[in-house]
Amino acid sequence: MQQIDTKISAPPLGRPRKLSSLIAVIALVALLAVVPIILPPAQEFLAQTVLVYALFAIATNFLIGFSGLLSFGQAVFFGFGAYMAAILWTHGVPFWLGFVVSPLAAALVAGLVAMVSLRTSRLYFALLTLGFSQLAYEVASGLYHLTGGETGIPGISVPNAISGVVSNYEFILVFIVLAVGALYFVRRSSFGMALSAIRENPTRAEAVGIHVYWHHVVAYVIAGLICGLAGVLYVVYQQQVDPVLLNWTESGEPVLMAVLGGMGLYLGPAIGSFIYIALEQWVGALTPQWPLLVGLVVLVLVIVYPRGFGGGIVDLMKFVKRRRRGIPEDEAMRTRRLSE
């Protein structure tokens, strides 16, 4: 290595962790932890659905928003994780073994799907992932002796320790917080920087020595692992599975949630999950045509405000803070607005 004589000192790596952000995260987790105490049991089931789908949507957005991989097949891994756990648990396999093996198996399937699909261009990749989703649905419907066919597998029991309403919720919450936290650190790691670089400019990424294909395969495996975990957690609280979990429409849900909440924000898809399920519950109670409203909201968001509801909340908070302090719009905001 040739050395250059320079006196400049190295800058600190990354942004300094803000105490306020840490406090906000702890407060959010604490708030989520007391939900089963505040909410009636019927609403708690809904809260669990929001949490599990939030994890599913965050993992999907790790591919679509963060890595630039338009995957419409994430339900394959969500459903695979769920089915694997359901089959193992109903065949007498210990709970923890099934709990660990099922997401890993989903990650393995994701690796195989990725190695095939990523050999194609962007559009064909999206179509292939959609195709895999439909294939998985047909397989799950057809293998009646193993999967219960269209009926699925009902009445899956979980250990007594987590069969209570509160303990079941808290169990799910713990693993969701761990998974969301782990994925956050992956995004900020050297690997995350490489993924951002590939999304921005794959030609340049390759020219600086990054193997685009394998980085995408690994990203797909990580997302598959987390989607698989979300699937296992789904079984923990739903205690049943059916082939709809694997259907391509199920793959579309986390994408819509990410768009609703904001793909540019790490927790945006979680906000999207809340909005989507709220619309499903409240508008769905009034009319079976509630997906029309979701479609309309997504359409308006994409055209008018692509940063989604999550991005809107962040922008609003920044705006209020600036107005209060009389600080002019910063360069990054201006650039982003211009680029949008």
**Which parts of this chain interact with other proteins (CB under 8 A)?**
1-2, 4, 6, 8-14, 185-186, 188-191, 193-194, 196-197, 200-201, 203-212, 215, 218, 222, 331-332, 335, 339
187 vs 283 by CB, closer to other proteins: 187
Q: Report the residue count for the chain.
A: 340
Instruction: Decide: helix, strand or coil at residue 179.
Output: helix
CA distances to 12, 61, 293 from 21, rounded to whole Å, are 19, 22, 34
The sign of the torsion formed by the CA atoms of 243, 249, 251, 253 equals negative
CA distances to 138, 259, 309, 311 from 316, rounded to whole Å, are 45, 18, 10, 8
244 vs 318 by CB, closer to other proteins: 318
4 vs 19 by CB, closer to other proteins: 4
Instruction: Decide: helix, strand or coil at residue 117.
Output: helix
Q: How far apart are CB 340 and other proteins at their closest, in Å?
A: 12
Q: How far apart are CB 178 and other proteins at their closest, in Å?
A: 14
205 vs 229 by CB, closer to other proteins: 205
Q: How far apart are CB 91 and other proteins at their closest, in Å?
A: 33
9 vs 160 by CB, closer to other proteins: 9
38 vs 327 by CB, closer to other proteins: 327
Q: Are 271 and 310 in contact (CB under 8 A)?
A: yes
Q: In terms of Cα–Cα distance, which of 280, 276, 277 is closest to 288?
A: 280
Q: How far apart are CB 12 and other proteins at their closest, in Å?
A: 8
Q: How far apart are CB 167 and other proteins at their closest, in Å?
A: 30
Q: Are 291 and 284 in contact (CB under 8 A)?
A: no
Burial class (CB in 10 A: 0-12, 13-18, 19+), 187: middle
Q: How far apart are CB 254 and other proteins at their closest, in Å?
A: 22
Rounded-to-integer distance, Cα 295 and Cα 158, Å: 36
211 vs 321 by CB, closer to other proteins: 211
Rounded-to-integer distance, Cα 87 and Cα 142, Å: 15
Q: How far apart are CB 36 and other proteins at their closest, in Å?
A: 32
Q: Are 210 and 198 in contact (CB under 8 A)?
A: yes
